[in-house]
Structure 1
């Protein structure tokens, strides 16, 4: 199959935007993606589009993909909507890669959007809840935070994890997010701030939880046959892996791991012909601080029970051996559900293009994104590599 490359990626700001619509946010992200293509890009080159969204608030549940692609001028381009909860646009990127690799398309737009802040708190809880097991978890009163709190409790009891480690994750990601102009919570917080914040679901405090967000993100994926038209040093999608699992926690054997992430990572590494020790940076799904710690282990960055040690040693800070969530992650940058996975790819694209500004990881040539749906019902992992011009098509 043909190689696939990211030739452009962009996003809107993430936050609360009462004067914006899902269409306008998507237009902002699309225009940013087009502007980021090194050698220029004509939107008429797009052969197909894949758009991820959950549809929070019930807006345009049917045909929401064509609703945004038509708005940005891609009239008549085939468009498919993907819904996999919080992993919707991560899976949209995966579908774009498959279309390019199969030969069905030379250029595919993958993106996502969500508007979450115009609904009441109760309505937002409902829409977050539909990403979990509805009948036996959500309708019995379990919240999204409550689900991850159960996972945090099991992990902490098994591995003697102090809550301070969760707070260190939050402080790290806020430090990165403070350097990201697109971040919703673009301010620093200390470990003490996170420790003393109100408890949302024990042991998780407010600063251990991501915000609800509005936003959009877009990624342009091109085949090896046309990539030279858009970039001299393109970003190759070296590996893609996906996995799924039981949606409800009560259906799982172990709450201290996410098997869907393990399966997705294994497949992505195998496709890329690398191991986790060859990754230079990663964007992982930190909807709650415990989720980032679980990701360290599920993705093979450390052994079981060692995630707390990794963050305590500073290894995942921007200047550490393996920077994680240089964008600020979901925790600081924000989590507009349908846009999150594509937004992670935006950060990977900027890091590997050397355009990440103050967040830049020096010498980075290979990065990973990890996007999870709900509490682990689905997960997708992408591995990206920067290539020199003479390597393209080799």
Structure 2
């Protein structure tokens, strides 16, 4: 990865190149040994006036003759690029693939960035001025109304994830906050406030996927990577708290892997808004419906809890450079499962991890399950 930041002076192609080179170095592989390159990016044309990212990346790596393409799936572009790379290897078509994701959002001012991101909603909802934070606020209000969770419980999600990011050198925010900080931050979409929402970010992330056992014995196995779409227009959902895409992608991943939520040791959840951490946990069977808040209140999702969630800080504090996020979640799981992290960052004894990366407000989702090699 590159460190995620509110503004990185390097252009997007350079960020992608740095992440790719780091992944190849970590895997002890040369660019010439890669068969295909899969680049996840949502909106380089809108943010940066750039296209042809996959071709620019392979050119920077000195590659020729490889298959290369860009994958766009709004805020799940990174995980979709990873899924594409995994499928290329699993099918036997390619022996080794490189998945890279990145976004440089700082090139646009706040109003422009808001407009770019708002365009991923359904046309009918966009025309009514509804934004993704609007959906987050409506969902949070409904959840707090329908469960015994209170506003302070929701604030604890942000507090936890900021605390996890403090020791993560790649995280955008290294600052601890408390519940009062969250509640005192500026309102965005009631009841959500600024500290309930992920930032705009610059950054890139990359992984190498290959067939066969690891020569060094420290690789992590992709047990499953599955995706699913949901209802595009949120207003068409029978229950605004249902995120069908996440539930279906999770079910498909569990079926493909041959194990379920009960053996997951840690999870990277798409917490673009604090409420999404709870909703997605419930859709994935990591918490009973309407009860995820209890896990937060009881400390069970803390780094030293029985189900650590977003140990690297999540989108909320690690940052959310759209095309990089899904791959950065995979990287966090790999580091945890390989035991690469210092004690203050590590989830002790983890052997299975889950990541979910979501497009829009649940229009599409990608769920990945990883296992540490025995």
- What TM-score comes out, normalization by structure 1 length? 0.92
C-alpha displacement of 1:64: 2.2
CA deviation after TM superposition for structure 1 residue 110, in Å: 0.8
- Alignment of 1:216 onto 2:201: no
Report deviation, 1:19: 1.9
Hey, what does 2:165 align to over in structure 1? Answer: 177
CA distance in 2, matches of 1:30, 1:18: 17
* Counterpart Cα distance in 2 of 1:366 and 1:345: 12
Question: For the structure 1 residues 99 and 18, does the alpha-carbon distance in structure 2 shift closer, same or farther, using more than 3 Å as the test?
Answer: closer
Q: Distance in 1 between matches of 2:291 and 2:80?
A: 29
Partner of 1:32: 22
Cα separation, 1, equivalents of 2:152 and 2:172:
24
Kept after mapping to 1: 8 A contact 2:13/2:53: no
Q: Please report how far the alpha carbon of residue 73 of structure 1 lies from its aligned counterpart in structure 2 after TM superposition.
A: 2.5
Normalization by structure 2: what TM-score? 0.96
> Which piece of structure 1 moves more, 256-265 or 353-362?
353-362
Q: Which whole-Å CA distance do the structure 1 matches of 2:341 and 2:62 have between them?
A: 28
1:244-275 deviation per Cα after TM superposition (whole angstroms, max 9, x unaligned): 01222112111112110000111111111111
Aligned-partner SS, 2:107 = coil
Task: Sort the Cα spacing of 1:139 and 1:64 in 2 relative to 1 into closer, same or farther, 3 A.
Answer: farther
**Residue number in structure 2 paired with 1:280:** 265
Equivalent position of 2:359 in the other structure: 373
Report how far residue 61 of structure 1 moved: 5.3
Q: Does 1:101 align with 2:87?
A: no
* CA RMSD after TM alignment: 1.3
Moved more, 18-27 or 337-346: 18-27
**Residue 59 of structure 2 aligns with which residue?**
70
1:351 aligns with 2:336: yes
Distance 1:311 1:254 in 2: 23
Q: Is the 8 A contact 1:239 1:269 kept in 2?
A: yes
SS in structure 2 of the partner of residue 383 of structure 1: strand
Distance 1:29 1:18, change over 3 A: closer
**Residue of structure 1 in register with 2:39 after alignment:** 51
Tell me what 1:247 maps to.
232
**Would you say how many aligned residue pairs link Structure 1 and Structure 2?**
372
**C-alpha distance in structure 2 between counterparts of 1:350 and 1:73, whole Å:** 28
Shift of 1:228: 3.3
Name the residue aligned to 2:12.
Answer: 22
* Residue 111 of structure 2: aligned partner: 122
